[in-house]
Structure 1
Amino acid sequence: MTRGEANDPTGGTAKVIFQPSGKSGRFAFGTPVLEAARELGVAIESICGGRGICGRCQISVASGNFAKFGVTSQPDNLSARGPVEDRYAAKRGLAPDRRLSCQARIEGDLVVDVPAASLIAGQTIRKDASSAHMVRNPALRLFYVEMCPPDLHTPVGDADRLIHAIEQDFGVEGLVVPFPLLAEVQKVLNGADWKVTACVDISGVRPELVTLFSGFNDRLTGMAVDIGSTTVAAHLVDLMNGEILASAGRANPQIRFGEDLMSRVSYVMMNTDGQARLHDAIIQCVNELTAELLENSSTERQHLLEAVFVANPVMHHLFLDLDPTALGQAPFNPGVSSAVRGHCRTLGLGLADAARFYFLPIVAGHVGADAAAVVLSERPDREKAPVLIVDVGTNAEIILWDGAQLFAASSPTGPALEGAEISCGQRAAPGAIERIRIDRETLIRRFRIIGSELWSDADGFDAQAASTGITGLCGSAIIEIVGEMLAAGILSADGIIRGPRTEQEKERLVSAGRTFAYVIRKEGPRLLLTQNDVRAIQLAKAALYAGVKLLLEKADLNTINDIRLAGAFGSYIDPAYALLLGLVPDVEVDRLKSVGNAAGQGALAALLDMDARKQIETMVLKIRKIETALEPAFQTHFVNAMGLPNSLDPFEKTRGRFGLPPLQENTGGTGRRRRQGRRER
């Protein structure tokens, strides 16, 4: 009689409850916990087929009397550890309260705790400032099988025997072995004593063999890549547990062919080899990032078997070597808008030879897969109240949820907000000014640079800045200095830098031809903010705000109280100054928040969860796409948005916060005040 049978009134069965799912059932004594879990649909991972080799199926048993379940659970209600678990514990370590569910057998009532790392569709925390969770349900799976050598009595082909073994051990039916892999299957099986680990893509209509490893292998990684116009960011992820192993980023080398998207499209149109050169540049960049990620994580290339990509439509086309010229003129029709799947080797990518890639669908001709990824990451459609998401960048993408429908548009802001095309601007790097304040009386500035936590008027700043120098203003400081100049009365509401009024002010406000400039730094490299700089910033922010206003108008919304700034650049913008510049509609500061690189997080979600891919493929078909270039109202909103913070919209909250006078009643360049929207949320 087993330990559980002594007080079991059911004649050799026990009640087992799995947490956190809450699924339960009765099972005969001696049933492996893993088998019970599978019968109940609890997706505990096991790539070794229950042989106690992989250790992925670990569980623990809760102790105590659980009245709501009607059971008393204790670790002794499992069979004692046997030689297989002892061997695993000696080799890899196994905590005292952990058991391998493939080896532990039921001998009494149990409440089984399944840790997230043991679930095929478990949860993993993103490696960034966000606390949101991602589901782990990857498209690629590993299955370890041990097969008998062929003999005269079983004249079945190697590939067929592999298919049968995987189906028998793991229940994977209908496995397809692509023709190019047949020779590899034969070679690996014969050289591995018929013990192999199969990597299988289960996301299609039928599961498909990706590659075969000799012996037991439990290493499987993927890469999520956000290809921005300015920056390319990549994450290497352990697909077995969701852990981010390494992250890297670098400037998009296509910048040398054009700062913004349309200049790159023009380069393709004007040069016969333009498309090839731009394609080669981005492929080389991704390959360099791949090599960096592999080296920094000590990961072998053969284990990097999947990549997920997001990008705006022009970057999407150039990466896939598609002609982007149609995106430069109406009706802005993309070569393909649905999700793209393929083999990495066809693009010349430096992943494993058998690696696959998945490119998220693009929303419209000017609204890309990066916007789709933002939707996937933020899921505004799950909110009851309207949500506005702005991915700030060279090509700003705007997403609006009005409580019933998603709207999307893009605005060609250009690179000015990120530091390009500004005389003292630069990319974010050590030595760049990232924060700046101007005294309202003396007009003297103080600032902080990347690489130092001290302000420039603090003791010790000069010593800290000596190693990097003070090299220019990055995007966050560019937004702040315009706001500070406005609040200090240096800038008029229409963006004109005034001249000096006192001798003291002549040190800060200097003549620059027919206009004036503000002196940020006199010594070292002289840093000035010129009238042309201010105008470039106004043009960029006006394009962004006009796109936002257009979507609000289409949704018949007058106000919105949940605004999210996305993108790596958006993460560093001070919300108060984003409002003062007039980047987004006027709200209380706590209603405007940064959500980090949401496009990159959406790429991670699609990498880790194959169901997320299906969800976004369905969602993009329901998004109402607005092409700003085809909307007459866009120009009206653009003209009004040239004002600081706006020529027509009052921005009462922001004006009050910074002590600015209220907006005077005026036409704002429109001829008359527009009728306000009919709905408020």
Structure 2
Amino acid sequence: MSSLVKVKIYTASEPLVSWIYEGQTVWQAVQKAGVLQRGDCGGRGICGKCKARVEGDVLSLTSEEEEVLSVEEKQGGFRLTCKCHVMGETSVFLPETRIAHLKGGLLMFERYPGVLAAIKKVDTHIPPFNRNNPIPLMERVQWSFKDYELEISSANLNHIAELDQGDGFRINGGLLDKTVLRIHPQGQGRFCGLAVDIGTTWISCALIDLITGELLGETGALNSQIEYGRDILARISYVMDNDTGIEELNEKVVRDISLIVEELLDGLEIGSEDILEMTVVGNPVMLHLFVGLDPRGLGRAPYVGLFRRGISRRAATLGMPMHPAGRVLILPQVAGFLGSDVVACLLAVAGNSLDNFLVLDIGTNGEMVIVKDDMYFACSIAAGSAFEGGGITSGMVARGGAIDRFWLEDGEMKYSVLGIERPEGICGSGLVDLLNVLLDLEVIDETGLIQPDKYAGKWRNTPRGTELIIVDEAESSQGLPLVLNQQDVRQLQLAKGAVRTGIDILMKEAGINPQGIDEVMFAGAFGHYLNPEAVIGIGMIPGFEEHRIKPIGNASLRGALAALVSVREREEAMRLASCITAVDLADHPDFASLFVESMAFK
């Protein structure tokens, strides 16, 4: 058996140590330490995103590294961590990254209106302990809730026992259907719910008081399944190729949600057992992996999974960090790759939109819906991960260190950075802005061809071709230049072409033109930072008037919240899922011609 070797991992906050077997990779050492690295290809050495400076006893550069790394990167000791094999003590230096504060809250309410939750509060009186007729506390509690079943934990009963000092006292019970799950002394404690949006790249959660409707917290984290591939097809492929793939991917998402809940509860006088119900939305592949079901049916025609309607499970069966007898409710899906996140988006905008509107959620796996005269037309789009920084030389997700905007000022290109001053990469909204600026300067023509002679910026020749240096290495947080090359532009063209083709086909199916659409709503983080002028300028969407375009934040999470606090919204979710017409783009007769046309920057 190979011997264990030590890998020191130097981060911005504190050094970490990871022990791995000789011959394993730096990537594996970093993952074992619980640090999530950049990377789109699941460790196959294709994307080039896991670059880091490495020192120590490692094998020589692989052919993949020779091809991907620039001369400067090789001279600086940079390696692809997924291809760098460790033979002895090694050090890896990771760049500073901090989570950026969002420019505006993704949720709309501090207190959610119209609470009609499935969880009810029941007030009752516990009779005093009588020494002449001693009745155990559990029996007195059961008698007080005589119309209901009782399923409280030992710790909960022990806490209530501290009040049982001879006098009677009042308590509140958290009731789910006909079962009391949690009890608190009157005036103390909360009965909470958790809304969860499981995205391919990002998981978002919101904690709410189900009795008052008070929003107690909202946060999220990267979906650590990204280690196995950036998109849903890569994760299906991992399941196909590995006997334990379903279990591994399920464990990742369960752990991610548990850590997010731990963060939400930190500083609150609330325990995980105070969470009595959870609603979950996401695309079909993410939902299958969350439940621990095989998603392979979604990876081949006719793209049908093992379930589509809404389902509920006891929390304990899914390993959720909440009351073990609490309910986890997965909202209904539509069809194919159209999941409950689409339904949740529509729940979120209901009552706040005009008659005819378009909703787009552009992520690694994007969806869009056109609503016309109460008819719903939806499709999923294979936009890829380009607008989340995937496959782009200097791309990254929208977090601290990401350039989110570009503009021209006195002929000079300017940019803004999320969270910190020194940029690490360029996120999706920044890439759209950058393309729009370069189109205005005619550095990129209508076909997407880069023309270096049109711009007196800094250029360099690399094995990847001619690259425009956007940010010098001295100004970046990694000590590496941020660049754009022809391959990056082509990847962005494919992504924007997929989005535009989806819109054009949905408009055709709905029998509506751009002038007939009253509102265009961009959901998610990408839409939150998006510049309407730029998204029109590169031709990603038709020429809507800018005032009609608006970001709506994390609409999927808001929809999950709506279903959490209102049983009526759950009924509406079932109605929406059944009446949405799913449009299969790949089978549409106009798809090929429209896609080719949509690739052009016009």
TM-score, normalised by the number of residues in structure 2: 0.74
Distance 1:147 1:515, change over 3 A: closer
For 1:246-645, what aligned pairs fall within 5 Å after superposition?
Answer: 246-379=217-350, 385-438=355-408, 444-451=412-419, 465=421, 469-500=422-453, 505=455, 507-512=457-462, 515-524=465-474, 525-559=480-514, 560-645=517-602
- Secondary structure of the equivalent of 1:624? strand
Find the residue that maps to 1:317 and give its secondary structure: helix
What letter corresponds to residue 470 of structure 1 in structure 2? P
Q: Distance in 1 between matches of 2:399 and 2:497?
A: 26
What is the match of residue 172 of structure 2? 197
Q: Distance in 2 between matches of 1:164 and 1:624?
A: 51
CA displacement at 1:356 relative to structure 2: 2.1
Closer/same/farther in 2, CA of residues 182 and 161 from structure 1, 3 Å limit: farther
- Paired amino acid for 2:124: V
Deviation at 1:332, TM superposition (A): 1.2
Counterpart secondary structure, 1:375: helix
Higher mean alpha-carbon deviation, 514-523 vs 612-621, is at 514-523
Residue 117 of structure 2 aligns with which residue?
A: 138
Give the superposition deviation at 1:228. Answer: 0.8
Distance 1:157 1:269, change over 3 A: same
Structure 1 residue matching 2:206: 3-state secondary structure = strand
- In structure 2, how many angstroms separate the alpha carbons of the residues matched to 1:405 and 1:643? 31
Give RMSD over aligned pairs.
3.2
The 5 A counterparts of 1:174-189 are 175-177=147-149
- Give the 3 Å change call, closer, same or farther, for CA 256–188 of structure 1 in structure 2: closer
**Deviation of 1:159 (Å):** 9.2
2:399–2:418 contact (8 Å) kept in structure 1: yes
What is the aligned partner in structure 1 of residue 16 from structure 2?
none
8 Å CA contact retained: 1:191, 1:214: no
1:150-161 alignment runs, 5 A limit: none
Post-superposition CA distance 1:342-377 (Å, at most 9, x none): 221111112233332211111112111111110100
* Structure 2 counterpart of 1:391, one-letter code: D
How many residues were matched structurally? 487
Q: In 2 relative to 1, CA 596–165 (structure 1 residues): closer, same or farther, beyond 3 Å?
A: same
Q: 1:244 to 1:161 in 2, by over 3 A?
A: same
Q: Aligned to 1:250, what secondary structure does the other structure show?
A: strand
Could you tell me which residue of structure 2 aligns to residue 11 of structure 1? Answer: none
* Contact persistence 1:418–1:475 (CA under 8 A): yes
Partners of 1:288 and 1:404 in 2: how far apart? Answer: 40
Please list the CA deviations of residues 36-79 of structure 1 after superposition, one character each: whole Å capped at 9, or x if unmatched: xxxxxxxxxxxxxxxxxxxxxxxxxxxxxxxxxxxxxxxxxxxx
Structure 1 stretch displaced more, 371-380 or 256-265? 371-380
Query: Aligned residue for 1:47?
Result: none
Paired position in structure 2 for 1:27: none
Post-superposition offset of 1:604: 1.4
Q: Which whole-Å CA distance do the structure 2 matches of 1:301 and 1:611 have between them?
A: 26
Aligned equivalents of 2:499, 2:330: Cα separation in 1:
26
Please give the secondary structure, in 1, of the residue aligned with 2:452: coil
Instruction: State the Cα deviation string for residues 480-508 of structure 1 (Å, max 9, x = none).
Output: 0011111110111111101315xxx4543
What does the per-residue CA deviation read over 1:273-300, in whole Å, with 9 as the maximum and x for residues that have no partner? 1111110001000000011111143422
Against the structure 1 CA distance between its residues 340 and 528, is the aligned structure 2 distance closer, same or farther, given a 3 Å change threshold?
same
**Paired AA for residue 269 in structure 1:** M
Q: Is the 8 A contact 1:227 1:233 kept in 2?
A: yes
Given that residues 107 and 554 in structure 2 are in contact (C-alpha distance below 8 angstroms), is that contact kept between their aligned partners in structure 1? no
Q: In 2, Cα distance between the equivalents of 1:157 and 1:613?
A: 40
- The aligned residue for residue 243 of structure 1 is 214
Aligned partner of residue 310 in structure 1, secondary structure: strand
Answer yes or no: is the 8 Å Cα contact 1:340–1:361 preserved in 2.
yes
Deviation track 1:177-226 (CA, whole Å, cap 9, x = no partner) reads: 27x66999999998865754321124xxxx33333446664411221111
Unmatched tracts of structure 2, length 5 or more: 1-103, 475-479
Q: Quick one: which amino acid aligns to residue 528 of structure 1?
A: V
Q: 1:190 to 1:418 in 2, by over 3 A?
A: closer
Please give the secondary structure, in 2, of the residue aligned with 1:308. Answer: strand
Contact 1:140 1:201 in 2 (8 A): yes
Provide closer, same or farther for how the CA distance between residues 531 and 198 of structure 1 changes in structure 2, counting only shifts above 3 A. same
Residue 427 of structure 1, CA deviation:
1.9
CA 1:158 to 1:632, structure 2 compared with 1: closer, same or farther past 3 Å? farther
Q: C-alpha displacement at 1:543, in angstroms?
A: 1.2
After TM superposition, the structure 1 = structure 2 runs for residues 69-108 of structure 1, keeping only pairs within 5 Å, are: none
CA contact (8 A) 1:226 1:599 kept: yes
Give secondary structure in 1 for the equivalent of 2:453: coil
**1:12-47 alpha-carbon deviations (Å, 9 max, x no partner):** xxxxxxxxxxxxxxxxxxxxxxxxxxxxxxxxxxxx
Q: Distance in 1 between matches of 2:201 and 2:155?
A: 41
Separation (CA, whole Å) in 2 of partners of 1:243 and 1:228: 25
Q: Separation in 2 of the partners of 1:383 and 1:480?
A: 27
Letter in 2 for 1:347: L
Give, in angstroms, the shift of residue 514 of structure 1. Answer: 8.5
Change (3 A) 1:509 1:438: farther
Q: Deviations along 1:320-350, whole A, 9 cap, x unmatched?
A: 1111111111111121111121221111112
- Cα displacement (A) at 1:150: 9.8
Q: 1:46-125 alignment to 2 at 5 Å? A: none
Give how far 1:421 is off. 1.1
* Deviation by residue 1:386-445 (Cα, 9 ceiling, x = unmatched): 1100012111111110113111111011111111211011122333211112469x5x42
CA contact (8 A) 2:127 2:140 kept: no
> What's the offset of the Cα at 1:470?
2.3
The 2-side partners of 1:215 and 1:134 are apart by 24
* Alpha-carbon separation, structure 2, partners of 1:514 and 1:419: 17
| 1:186–1:539 Cα change, 3 Å | closer
Q: With CA pairs under 8 Å and 6+ residues apart, which has the higher RCO, 1 or 2?
A: 2
Could you tell me whether the CA contact under 8 Å between 1:497 and 1:517 is conserved in 2?
Answer: no
> Are the equivalent residues in 1 in contact too, given 2:360–2:523 (CA < 8 A)?
yes
* Structure 2 letter corresponding to 1:177: E
Does the Cα contact within 8 Å between 1:188 and 1:212 map onto a contact in 2? no
Q: SS state of the match for residue 590, structure 2?
A: helix
Query: Partner amino acid for 1:612?
Result: E
Q: Residue 181 of structure 2 contacts residue 323 of structure 2 at CA under 8 Å; is this kept in 1?
A: no
Q: SS of the counterpart of 1:614?
A: helix
- Please name the residue that 1:71 is paired with: none
TM superposition shift of 1:624: 1.1
Q: Residues 137 and 161 of structure 2 are in contact (CA less than 8 Å); yes or no, is this contact kept in structure 1?
A: no
Q: Check whether the contact 1:211–1:354 (CA below 8 A) recurs between aligned residues.
A: no
Pair 1:241–1:185, CA change in 2 (3 A): closer
Q: Deviations over 1:467-489 (max 9, x none)?
A: xx222211111110011111110
In structure 1, list runs of 5 or more residues that go unmatched.
1-125, 168-174, 453-464, 646-681
CA contact (8 A) 1:317 1:323 kept: yes
Partner of 2:54: none
Q: Tell me, yes or no, if the aligned pair for 1:181 and 1:211 is still in contact at 8 Å.
A: yes
Query: Greater strand percent: which structure?
Result: 2
